[in-house]
């Protein structure tokens, strides 16, 4: 990063023809950054996180940030001009993937560091301990929530090691092809949550006539209550109830709540023990991003990701539409050509998928993203990729596939935060770090979500929701130091420290399986 201390603008790379505003600045403010011989007065007011031109850019010429192409001028741009959607468009890229041409060496393994987690009977490491009610279909969602309400705080007070009763409900489960891609993906997602180490016990509730049958879920996902202390695999089949078979909602609620009460004592029989940091599986997410996301919070999270990998752990990058335009940086880091080509296959799938509906991937930056200074999907993606740090890309997974590889990996998910995090949690993520510039208030039970603010004004405005302020980087703190702060917070939260979203009991409504096909 090339920056000028004490100045309101920074230039991120010597090849950039733009600078970034570190604060709101009025028209006429001089731009003083390294590589510019004389101050350039701004021709517009420039908001925090937005871009300003450092030289004249003709129509069709590239605009660069991070030393990378983020789009092309759609009209002539003068030095000092504000650069945004009115004069910058995505255009088409011709990327050189150079598969595995710059694979980083494996970091020296750091051993001995632990966190205080729950060791499950099947050997998995948990950071929380929930009891879940898993709905196979939207038609059983209300019933599942009614069951959860039967186990109120007065009952849970007798079971202090249980973090809560979690109804896992959704809007799907029917009207798709039996055994088809949507059916398999939903089963994989529900199964990933049922088998997640942070779920200490669970029951399954269906309606009875849905396409997504509970029996199909149990059979294809090999569901057993292995997380329950004292239960053996051959006697620990999950309890499945169908409302139609039980005789209606009231009878189902009565039987299910009674079954939960019987599960609580066993689910409570856990205690935190030292577990190697290598068993942390981190899900990384950015939402409500702004022009600072790729400058502060995401690179700092990338440092934390590298530290986890050095400790033998796993860090997962997701949101394939927000890799688009920057995928060439990942293919170079792919441990093998096969891994790199698997990522590109997913990119091509997204091009076909969005094209089928007449949508462009560049439609991705949201209204809030653009207000925060992000203009094109390429700019957004280049900043988002920074969450993945700098180590070799070890594997690429489909949505909600179990993550088994150690190191830095990618999971194919949409960019929409609840869906993306749902996929990573189903894949086994036991901690999530979520960066935000606009102020996303996200929780994702049964996994703790750490919020990282990209800028100080938002952090101070939303202090009750943000766990760490990466905006201090714009004020002189180093990316490395903030990255280490995030790393230490991950270990502390994995050990039981409540995140701010957990303190507010956020996370019951963010389970969002990805449906990719038609609703029949």
- Say whether pLDDT at 58 is over 70: yes
C-alpha–C-alpha distance, residues 326 and 71, integer Å: 12
Instruction: Categorize the per-residue pLDDT at 414 as very low, low, confident or very high, splitting at 50, 70 and 90.
Output: very high
> Strand order of the sheet with strand 88-89?
62-65, 68-73, 88-89
Longest dimension (CA), the chain: 80
Is the sign of the CA dihedral 162, 252, 219, 232 positive or negative?
positive
Q: Considering Cα of 413, then 418, then 422, then 428, what sign does the dihedral take?
A: positive
Q: How far is CA 417 from CA 117, 121, 171, 436, 460, in A?
A: 26, 31, 17, 11, 23
pLDDT digits (tens, 9 = 90+) for 446-502: 999 999 999 999 999 999 999 999 999 999 999 999 999 999 999 999 999 999 999
Name the percent of the chain lying above pLDDT 70: 96
8 Å CB contact between 197 and 426? no
Q: Which residues does 463 contact at the CB level (< 8 Å), separation at least 6? A: none
- Asked which of 3-17, 314-328, 414-428 is least confident by mean pLDDT, the reply is 3-17
| Res. 4: pLDDT tops 90 | no
- CATH fold of 1-89: 2.30.130
Q: How far is CA 310 from CA 339, 392, 407, in A?
A: 21, 11, 8
pLDDT at 34 over 60: yes
In the prediction, which pLDDT does 2 show?
43
Reported as type and span, the H/E element at residue 21 is: strand 18-21
Task: Report the SS3 class of residue 486.
Answer: helix
Which residue reads 């990327």 in tokens?
95
Q: Return the closest-CA partner of residue 51 out of 372, 311, 270.
A: 372
CATH 2.30.130.110 segments of the chain: 1-89
Residues 6+ apart with CB under 8 A from 497: 489
Whether the CB-CB separation of 308 and 281 falls below 8 Å is answered with no
Taking 60 as the threshold, does the pLDDT of residue 433 lie above it? Answer: yes
Q: How far is CA 274 from CA 25, 33, 41, 142, 279, in A?
A: 50, 48, 57, 39, 11
At which residue do the structure tokens 């069951």 appear?
147
Residues of the chain with CATH 3.40.50: 127-267
Distance in angstroms (rounded) separating the CA atoms of residues 353 and 348: 9
Per-chain mean pLDDT for the chain: 94
pLDDT one-digit tens code per residue, 147-172:
999 999 899 999 999 999 999 999 99
β pairing state of 281-286 and 431-436:
parallel
Cα atoms in the 13 Å half-sphere on the side-chain side of 82? 20
Q: What's the rounded Cα separation, in Å, for the pair 216 and 278?
A: 34
Q: Span 109-114, mean pLDDT?
A: 97
CA dist 48 and 375 (Å) reads 14
* 8 A C-beta contact, residue 16 and residue 47: no
Could you tell me where the beta strands, DSSP code E, fall in 344-484? 393-397, 407-411, 431-436, 449-453, 468-469
Q: How many residues does the chain have?
A: 520
Band (pLDDT 50/70/90 cuts) for residue 360 is confident
Tokens at 80, concatenated:
């000092």
Give the Å distances, CA to CA, from 448 to 264, 443, 493.
Answer: 21, 7, 7
CA distance 251 to 253: 5
> 3-state secondary structure string, 22-52?
CCCECCCCEECCCCCCCCEECCCCECCCCEE
DSSP 108-174: PPP---EEEEEE-TTS-EES--EEEEEESSGGGHHHHHHHHHHS-HHHHTT-TT--EEEEE--S-SS
Strand 449-453 vs strand 468-469: parallel, antiparallel, or unpaired? Answer: parallel
The answer to whether residues 267 and 201 touch, using CB atoms and an 8 Å cutoff, is yes
Work out the average pLDDT over 293-321.
Answer: 97
pTM of the model: 0.95
Q: Give the residue ranges of DSSP H helices in 291-373.
A: 297-310, 327-331, 337-356, 367-371
Strand partners, 241: 205
> How far apart are alpha carbons 265 and 402 in whole angstroms?
29
Kindly state the percentage of the chain with pLDDT values over 90.
Answer: 90
The DSSP bridge partners found for residue 40 are 31
- Into which CATH architecture does domain 127-267 fall? 3-Layer(aba) Sandwich (3.40)
Reading the block at residue 225, the tokens are 């209550």
Q: Looking at the predicted structure, is the pLDDT value of residue 224 above 60?
A: yes
Report the Cα–Cα distance between both ends of the chain, in Å, rounded: 51
pLDDT digits (tens, 9 = 90+) for 178-200: 999 999 999 999 999 999 999 99
Categorise residue 505: left if φ over 0, alpha if ψ from -120 to 50, beta otherwise. Answer: left
């Amino acid at each position: 990063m090339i920056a000028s201390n004490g100045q309101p603008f920074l230039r991120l790379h010597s090849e950039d023809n733009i600078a970034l505003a570190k604060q709101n600045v009025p028209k006429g403010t001089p731009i003083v950054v390294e590589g510019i011989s004389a101050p350039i007065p701004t021709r517009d007011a420039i908001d925090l996180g937005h871009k300003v031109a450092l030289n004249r850019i003709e129509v069709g010429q590239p605009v660069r940030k991070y030393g990378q192409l983020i789009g092309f001028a759609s009209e002539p741009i003068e030095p000092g001009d504000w650069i945004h959607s009115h004069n910058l468009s995505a255009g088409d890229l011709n990327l050189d993937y150079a598969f595995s041409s710059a694979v980083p060496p494996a970091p020296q393994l750091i051993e001995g560091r632990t966190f205080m987690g729950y060791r499950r009977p099947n050997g998995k490491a948990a950071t929380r301990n929930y009891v879940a009610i898993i709905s196979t279909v939207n038609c059983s969602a209300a019933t599942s929530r009614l069951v959860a309400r039967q186990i109120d705080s007065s009952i849970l007070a007798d079971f202090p090691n249980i973090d809560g009763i979690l109804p896992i409900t959704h809007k799907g489960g029917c009207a798709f092809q039996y055994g088809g891609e949507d059916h398999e993906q939903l089963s994989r997602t529900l199964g990933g949550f049922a088998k997640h180490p942070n779920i200490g016990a669970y029951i399954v509730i269906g309606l009875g006539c849905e396409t997504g049958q509970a029996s199909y879920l149990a059979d294809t996902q090999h569901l057993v209550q292995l997380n329950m202390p004292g239960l053996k695999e051959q006697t620990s089949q999950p309890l499945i109830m169908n409302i139609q078979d039980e005789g209606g909602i009231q009878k189902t609620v009565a039987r299910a709540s009674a079954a939960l009460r019987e599960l609580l004592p066993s689910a409570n029989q856990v205690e935190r023990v030292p577990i190697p940091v290598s068993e942390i599986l981190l899900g990384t997410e950015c939402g409500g991003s702004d022009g600072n996301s790729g400058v502060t919070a995401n690179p700092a999270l990338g440092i934390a990701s590298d530290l986890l990998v050095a400790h033998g752990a796993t860090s997962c990058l997701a949101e394939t539409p927000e890799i688009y335009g920057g995928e060439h940086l990942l293919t170079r880091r792919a441990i093998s050509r096969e891994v790199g080509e698997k990522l590109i296959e997913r990119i091509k799938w997204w091009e076909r998928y969005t094209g089928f509906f007449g949508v462009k991937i560049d439609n991705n930056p949201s209204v809030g993203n653009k207000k925060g200074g992000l203009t094109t999907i390429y700019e957004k993606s280049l900043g988002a990729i920074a969450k993945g740090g700098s180590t070799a890309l070890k594997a690429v997974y489909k949505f909600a596939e179990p993550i088994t590889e150690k190191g830095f990996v990618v999971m194919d998910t949409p960019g929409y935060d609840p869906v993306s995090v749902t996929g990573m949690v189903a894949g086994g993520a036991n901690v999530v770090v979520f960066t935000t510039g606009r102020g996303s208030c996200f929780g994702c039970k049964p996994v703790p979500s750490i919020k990282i603010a990209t800028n100080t004004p938002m952090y101070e405005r939303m202090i009750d929701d943000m766990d760490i302020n990466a905006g201090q980087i714009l004020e002189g703190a180093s990316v490395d130091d903030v990255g280490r702060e995030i790393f230490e917070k991950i270990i502390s939260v994995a050990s039981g420290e409540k995140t701010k979203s957990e303190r507010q009991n956020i996370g019951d409504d963010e389970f969002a399986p990805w449906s990719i096909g038609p609703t029949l």
